């Protein structure tokens, strides 16, 4: 069986020169890229959402994360009451508000 297969000679391994330091630099660059591509934009988006929730007022037209569009009728510490139709008020958690719509959006619907 081994008539056709010759024994391969292994090449000598290349000497490791500065392998530890170069590896640390590469890991540092990787984390810097991850910070600027993922972490920093996510923190910016979170700050914008928090400031939007802080500026939320009675009469604002909002969209919830579930897609419900309505007008804010009351605001509590954790809950917001939204009027979605005549005689229909929905209470949602404050952080479930996805965005504030321009005035008059509900009339266009």
Tell me what pLDDT residue 81 has.
96
| pTM beyond cutoff 0.95 | no
Structure tokens at 32: 């810097």
d(CA 94, CA 56): 10
Place of tokens 């700050």: 47
Tell me what pLDDT residue 92 has.
96
Place of tokens 């929730």: 53
Rg of the chain in Å (alpha carbons): 29
Contact indicator for 89, 81 with CB cutoff of 8 Å: yes
Q: Name, of 3-7, 11-15, 93-97, the range with top average pLDDT.
A: 93-97
d(CA 70, CA 83): 5
């Amino acid at each position: 069986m081994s008539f056709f297969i010759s024994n391969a000679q292994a090449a000598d391994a290349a000497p490791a020169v500065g392998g530890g330091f170069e590896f640390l630099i590469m890991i540092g660059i990787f984390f810097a890229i991850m910070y600027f591509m993922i972490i920093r934009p996510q923190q910016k988006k979170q700050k914008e959402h928090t400031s939007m929730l802080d500026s939320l007022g009675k009469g604002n037209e909002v969209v919830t994360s579930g897609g419900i569009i309505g007008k804010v009728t009351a605001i509590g510490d954790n809950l917001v009451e939204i009027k979605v139709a005549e005689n229909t008020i929905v209470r949602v958690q404050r952080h479930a508000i996805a965005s504030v719509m321009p005035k008059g959006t509900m009339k266009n619907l």
